[in-house]
Amino acid sequence: MRKLTSRAVLVTCLVALVSVLVTALVAAPLALRETNRATREGLAQQAELAAALINTRPRPAGEDRIVQQLRTRGFTVFLVADGKLASKGTVPPRLVKAVAAGLTVSNQAALVNGRLMLVEGRPLPDRPGSGILLAKTGAAGLGGGLALLRGLWWALLAGLAAGAVAGVLLAGRLARPIRHAAAAAVRLSAGDRTVRVQPEAPAEVEELAHALNGLTAALATSEGRQRDFLLSVSHELRTPLTTIKGYAEALSDGVIAPEGVPRAGATVLTEAENLERLVGDLLALARLDAVDFPVNILAVDLVDVLSDAARAWIARCPSLRVELPTEPVVVATDPGRIRQVVDGLVDNALRVIPADAPVVLAVRPADPAGFASVEVRDGGPGFSDADLALVFERGAMSERYQGIRKVGSGLGLALAHGLVRRLGGTIEVGHAPEGGARFTVRLPVYQARTSH
């Protein structure tokens, strides 16, 4: 937060500095112009008054007294007598000639004694060829500008001080909610899922607080589902392990008669296959998002794939039927992976449907969007409308229906969803006309490459 504070102070000080300088640059010409105008007016009035007084005073005592008074007041004074400069110093001859000729010199800027000054000159009516020239340094030029800028130091210092104070206050206002968010993130990383951040202005910091609170809630939900998923998987693993362990102990103790050994061996083999399938699903799910997950996209006829699947499953499901078009439906997919998806969906259906309920495998030709479809429908209990959004989440259905109806670990549907996604297709779930669930897998139609 020190860095935020220092940056805020630096930025506000720079803003204050730039503001004062810009104001000075804009105001300086106006100030110089106004200062010169006032100087000219005062100089003209003094020249008129001095000419009137000298014209009426006796020479030379009266002239000397007036000149001395003017010089003590900061004016440079030149007397002109008989058409010539009668005072020490340098002044442009043109001004001397103008006054000597009885002309008024006004609003003039000239080099007087080597310095640029404002000059006013007045002739003496009663003394032909005589007059007075008054000069005074104005605010015009570089010197006047620098003098004005030197007067801005206090304004600059005040602006910088105000910027520093504003920066400290602004940084503190911004840093406080950020510190709270950082502390909440530390607690969150330590495993505390009860942490909440109070939203505070400004809007960006308030959005950060809402995002952090949303992340906390999402992590709590995700971890809860993971715990439930692990409990479900543990239960699924424990069931075949318990059976295998029981039969192994019975065989070891000689409890099973010789004629019962084949049946015990078959049971152990079945449970071992179930265990192998479950572990395989777990490994496949873990590898789905890996870059090296093997997928071999080929031209595959969905009619052939579902025909083979139907022949494999008919023994376990006599009520299985197929709905296949007469023409091939060729898509771009991995034949082994799409068969894995179909087998997983059929196996999932057979776990929950009654013994005589139908299972339907169907292929639909390509739609206008260029996707062909595979349908797996059943006559089981199906899903409610609220279930449809959670079907493919790991363990979601197992958590919802545990103890209500027969459920598995939920791995199969999550695996099917991940596989279809990696194949470039989509999978949807809905209500089947047979009364149960309908899974629709859409895959892109194969486009043959043509050579030119």
Please provide residue 392's backbone torsions phi and psi, each rounded to the nearest 5 degrees.
Answer: -90, 5
Strands (E), 18-177: 76-81, 84-85, 105-112, 115-123, 131-136
- Whole-number Å distance between alpha carbons of 330 and 381: 32
Residues 239 and 302 in one domain: no
Percent of the chain predicted with pLDDT > 90: 15
Structural domain for 369, as ranges: 298-444
Residue 61 — pLDDT band, cuts 50, 70, 90? Answer: low
Residues 373 and 254 in one domain: no
Residues 262 and 387 in one domain: no
What CATH number corresponds to the domain at position 374? 3.30.565.10
**84-93, 207-216, 258-267, 343-352: the lowest-pLDDT one:** 207-216
Specify if 188 maps to a domain.
Answer: no
**23-37, 340-354, 403-417, 424-438: the lowest-pLDDT one:** 23-37
- Whole-number Å distance between alpha carbons of 346 and 391: 15
Specify if 308 maps to a domain.
Answer: yes
* Residue 57: per-residue pLDDT: 64
* Residue 445: per-residue pLDDT: 93
Q: Considering 154, 174, 198, which residue would you say is the last residue of a domain?
A: 154
Burial class, 376, CB count within 10 angstroms (exposed 0-12 / middle 13-18 / buried 19+):
buried
Residues 360 and 421 in one domain: yes
**113-127, 274-288, 290-304, 356-370: the lowest-pLDDT one:** 274-288
**Arithmetic mean of pLDDT, 158-163:** 68
Specify if 172 maps to a domain.
Answer: no
Specify which residues 110 forms β-bridges with.
117
Does the CA dihedral 318-320-323-324 come out positive or negative?
Answer: negative
Residue 59 — pLDDT band, cuts 50, 70, 90? Answer: low
Q: What is the 3-state secondary structure (H, E, C) of 40-62?
A: HHHHHHHHHHHHHHHHHCCCCHH
Specify if 327 maps to a domain.
Answer: yes
Specify if 178 maps to a domain.
Answer: no
Residues 347 and 277 in one domain: no
Cα dist from 290 to 281, 335, 344, 423, whole Å: 15, 20, 21, 14
- Whole-number Å distance between alpha carbons of 396 and 225: 7
Residues 44 and 135 in one domain: yes
Specify if 159 maps to a domain.
Answer: no
Residues 265 and 363 in one domain: no
| Total number of domains constituting the chain | 3
Specify if 251 maps to a domain.
Answer: yes
Specify if 165 maps to a domain.
Answer: no
Whose tokens are 């009654």? That residue is 354
What CATH number corresponds to the domain at position 73? 3.30.450
Residue 407 — pLDDT band, cuts 50, 70, 90? Answer: low
- Sort strands 115-123 and 105-112 into parallel, antiparallel or unpaired: antiparallel
Q: Considering 287, 315, 331, which residue would you say is the last residue of a domain?
A: 287
Helix (H) or strand (E) holding 174: helix 153-189
Residues 228 and 283 in one domain: yes
Averaging pLDDT over each range in 10-14, 155-159, 441-445, which range is the top one? 441-445
* Closest C-alpha to 360, from 421, 317, 298: 317
Checking if the pLDDT of 186 tops 80, the result is no
Q: State both tokens at 448.
A: 């043959």
- Whole-number Å distance between alpha carbons of 399 and 268: 28
What CATH number corresponds to the domain at position 222? 1.10.287.130
* Residue 451: per-residue pLDDT: 45
How does pLDDT run across 205-264, given as a tens digit for each residue?
677 777 777 777 777 776 666 665 565 566 556 667 777 888 788 888 887 888 878 887
Residues 316 and 252 in one domain: no
For residue 445, give the DSSP letter: B
> Is the pLDDT higher at 415 or at 60?
415
Checking if the pLDDT of 330 tops 90, the result is yes
> Is the pLDDT higher at 50 or at 330?
330
- Whole-number Å distance between alpha carbons of 452 and 353: 53
Q: Considering 239, 259, 287, which residue would you say is the last residue of a domain?
A: 287
**Arithmetic mean of pLDDT, 261-269:** 81
How does pLDDT run across 272-317, given as a tens digit for each residue?
876 776 777 667 666 665 555 677 889 999 999 999 999 988 888 8
Percent of the chain predicted with pLDDT > 70: 67
**Arithmetic mean of pLDDT, 60-86:** 79
- Whole-number Å distance between alpha carbons of 193 and 218: 10
Residues 37 and 98 in one domain: yes
- Whether the full predicted model's pTM is greater than 0.85, yes or no, is no
Residues 385 and 252 in one domain: no
